Amino acid sequence: MIALEFKHGYAAGMTSPVQRIRPRRHGDARGWFTETYNRDTFAALGIACTFVQDNHSLSVPAYTLRGLHFQVPPRGQDKLVRCIRGRIFDVAVDIRRGSPTFGHWVGAELSAENGEQLFIPIGFAHGFLTLEPDCEVVYKCSDTYAPAQDGGIAWDGVGIDWPLPLGTRPELSPKDGMQPPLAGFDSPFAYDGRPLLPLA
């Protein structure tokens, strides 16, 4: 499949279900302050979910890949992802049944330096690749972890342009190394009328 890096002919003003969030930093001689989540600000962006769980991961080796993960209904998870140490390449893949962008993906570099976040709604598989050692990632979820609804697809089965050095294989968990391909996946996620668009 393809990365969405081109202009679509969809209606002007249509927002993508996956959104890049750029919180403003207010700095002075002491450092800076930023608001990483505000319910009203996010609602104005069309993000009205309620977050109920925060996760925090440390990946020690560079080029650790976690994903591609999701939870199936009725325990789907919206996610708000940011990197608080190091740099990652964060990815969302459209897995909504009937979507014109099914199998397409978008990705963005998130880092402690740029402070950017990625909002990934229910109906998208999520994963990230660390770009340097000792990366810490935190993300908010709209439902708690439900092992019986846990799902995933293969990290290398949808044509994602992972920024891996030539000849490098990512560090994977045994589980992520055996995820099934997207081809043949019977998606339980319904298309909501909003195609995946390039990240703003």
Residues serving a catalytic function are 69, 139
The two tokens of residue 113 are: 């330096």
Distance of alpha carbon 133 from alpha carbon 198, whole angstroms: 28
Would you say 32 and 25 are in contact if contact means Cβ atoms under 8 Å apart? yes
E runs forming strands in the chain: 19-21, 25-28, 31-34, 53-59, 65-71, 79-85, 87-94, 105-111, 117-120, 124-130, 135-141, 150-152
Nearest of 78, 80, 70 to residue 187 by alpha carbon: 70
Residue 42, Cβ density class (10 Å: 0-12 exposed, 13-18 middle, ≥19 buried): middle
